[in-house]
Structure 1
Amino acid sequence: MPSVKDASQSMILWQSDGILLISGNVSVYNSTSSTEAITIQIVGAATNVFTVFPGNTISYAGKDLESVRIINIQSNPSLYLEGKYCCQFTCCL
Structure 2
Amino acid sequence: MVSRLEALGLSLLVLYFAYHAFAGEKGLGRWSDAQLELEDRKADLARIEADLTRLRTDIRRLTPGSVDPDFVEALARDKLAFVYPNEIVLMASAGSIAN
Shorter-chain TM-score bucket reads under 0.3
Larger strand share, 1 or 2? 1
Structure whose alpha-carbon radius of gyration is higher: 2
In terms of fraction of residues, the more helix-rich structure is 2
Structure 2 length-normalised TM: 0.16
